[in-house]
Amino acid sequence: MESLADAAAVASRACELWRRQARASVAARGVFRAALSGGRTPALLFERLAAAALPWKSTELFWVDERYVPHGHAESNFALARELLLGRVPIPEAQVHPMPTGSGEPARDAAAYEALLRTVFAGRSWPGFDLCLLGLGEDGHTASLFPGGPELVEKRRWVLATRSPKGVADRLSLSIPALVRSGLCLFLACGTEKSAAFKAALGRPAGPASPARLVWSAAARGVFLLDKQAAGGIPPGQGAGWAGFLS
C-alpha cells in the first residue's frame, strides 16, 4: 500500500507497476494480459500508459467490468479507454476484448464474455490475468461488485451480470474468484471521499466486508495506490505501520 502526493503521482506509480508487470509477463510467457476498470480514476493512468514504452504487440486487453451501454456511450468503460489509450498505442485490434453489451440481455453477454475468457485461459479453472486494474467506490464497491449483492458469494462463474444502485444500473463484471488470482490486483483510489472505503477495505472498522475488502483480502498479490486525501493523512511514500495508523 502506497500513499502518494496526489493523483498525478498515483498515475505515474501505477504506470511504473504496469510496465514492470508487462515486461515480466512477456519475458516469462510472451504475452501480457491486463483487465481494465472504468470510472474517472484510471484516466490519468491511461494517458501515462499511452506515452510509455510498453510491449503493446504482446499485450492483450480485457475489461474488469462494463456498464451495459453501447460502446460509443459516454458511460462506457471501453469508450474511455478507446479515447485515452487504445487510439494512441500500437496494440493490434484483435488483442482488445471489450465486454459485449449489444444483445439486450446482460446475462447473455456476461456468458459470452466468460466463453471468450475460457478460450483465452483454456485448461484453467480460473482466468489468470497478469494485472487487474481496480478502482474503489465510496460505498466500498470495486469492479461492478456492489455491497449486499448476490455476486459477492459467487463461487463458479467468471463473469456476472450485476446491478448498480447508482448510475447505469445494468453492469457486467468479473467475479471475485476471477479477479483474485491475477498476477497483480492494482487498486487506485484518489480523493477524500474514498478514505472511509479504503479503511473499510483494510477491515477498519470491523463490520460486513465490503466488495473491495473481499477482493483485497483474497488477492494473490494486491497493491493499493492512494493519494494523501484517500489515505486519510498518511504522509506520501510507503505507508509503513498501517495497522497502527488504522487502529
**Interface with ligand 6PG includes 143 (CB under 6 A)?**
yes
**Interface with ligand 6PG includes 37 (CB under 6 A)?**
yes
Quote the least distance from Cβ 218 to ligand 6PG, whole Å.
17
**Interface with ligand 6PG includes 41 (CB under 6 A)?**
yes
Among 29, 40, 57, 221, binds ligand 6PG (CB under 6 A): 40
Q: Measured from the CB atom, is 59 or 77 closer to ligand 6PG?
A: 77
Quote the least distance from Cβ 190 to ligand 6PG, whole Å.
8
Q: Measured from the CB atom, is 20 or 40 closer to ligand 6PG?
A: 40
Quote the least distance from Cβ 202 to ligand 6PG, whole Å.
17
**Interface with ligand 6PG includes 38 (CB under 6 A)?**
yes
153: nearest Cα among 220, 224, 34, 162: 162
Strands (E), 146-201: 159-163, 170-174, 185-189
Quote the least distance from Cβ 90 to ligand 6PG, whole Å.
25
Residue with cell 508487470: 21
**Interface with ligand 6PG includes 175 (CB under 6 A)?**
no
Residues sharing a CB contact under 8 Å with residue 133, sequence separation 6 or more, in sequence order: 14, 34, 35, 36, 37, 42, 45, 64, 186, 188
Which residue blocks in the chain are alpha helix, DSSP H? 7-29, 42-51, 77-84, 106-120, 176-180, 195-201, 211-218, 228-231, 242-246
Q: Which residues bind ligand 6PG (CB under 6 A)?
A: 37-41, 65, 67, 77, 135-137, 141-144
